[in-house]
Amino acid sequence: MHSRVDTALYPETEPWFQRWLAVGDGHELYVEQSGNPDGLPVLVLHGGPGGGCSPHMRRYFDPSRWRIILFDQRGAGRSRPMGGLQANTTEHLLADMALIRHELGVERWMLFGGSWGSTLALLYAQRYPEQVSALVLRGVFLCRREDMDWLYRDGASRIYPEAWASFVGGVPAAEAGDLVAAYYRRLCDDSDPALQQSLAMRWAGWEGACATLLPSPAVLAGFHARALALARIEAHYFAHQGFMPAGGVLAGMPALAQVPGIIVHGRYDMVCPVDQALLLQQHWPAARLEIVPDAGHSASEPSLERALVAAVQALASEVLS
């Protein structure tokens, strides 16, 4: 086991496998593998939707023990086309995950996902519980109407009124009652790329402002760097209620009765408030919940990093070894 001195994370590691996987409908997904080719497989699911993966996400796993699989979901990160909305729904993403597993020859894998990545992990595990060895989830997002309204209508705006003012200021006052719909219409209009980019920066700036307990220029810069794909895809999904199955995430939880998991959630998560994690754990007795008292939403916050690394280590030792 690597020693921990200045950081909870493992050292940086480079992928030994990279490819673009054609999944149909004109989409090609970026897929990579790093760590131990013969190690325990783990699939990392990024947030957003539309956020994309980063090298940082490899560092929650001991590279001598884990076969670390990352991919950028449709339209996100290095996948092509960037920001593509055609044939981009939750059902398509679940099918993509099944195809990746088949292409890589993985029998069972652990799922590691945060925010929207937690939503996707839960839906996949409900459909294919025999293919999932365990789950580590961070910043649980149940993708209910009230969860979307918290961030885009009447919740977090009271905590971050300055950032909210910039977000609301992107559209006419008459349309401010449904910001997702107002932004979605404009982000889908390719006739004015400058306006698209300006609105995407406002969208990403709002989410980035809410993502950490304390202001983080680095986290905000990360949101701005992927603003167009993030804003387009999030608006597309949230305008369609996340393309959720009937009954949403909670309705499918009985399928996970025998699947172990650890839920890690920041007490002061202003993107996905902690009541979602509590509710999920009540529907999932096989999982345990750790509420991190000095963290918000971003996985890059030090206390969340420590908790996530510990969760991965615990499952590797208790369940997967």
Active-site residue set: 115, 269, 297
Max distance between CA atoms of the chain, in angstroms, equals 57
Cα distances (Å, whole numbers) of residue 191 to 187, 195, 196, 255, 276 = 10, 9, 9, 45, 39
Provide the residue type at 174 as one letter.
Answer: A
Q: d(Cα 47, Cα 119) in Å, to the nearest integer?
A: 9
Cα distances from 111 to residues 43, 126, 261, in angstroms, run: 5, 12, 9
Name the packing angle between helices 193-210 and 179-187 (round to 10°): 140
What length does the chain have? 321
Q: Helix H segments across the chain?
A: 90-104, 116-127, 145-149, 161-168, 179-187, 193-210, 217-225, 227-239, 248-251, 275-282, 302-315
User: Do 10 and 20 meet the contact criterion of CB atoms below 8 Å apart?
Assistant: no
CA distance 208 to 203: 9
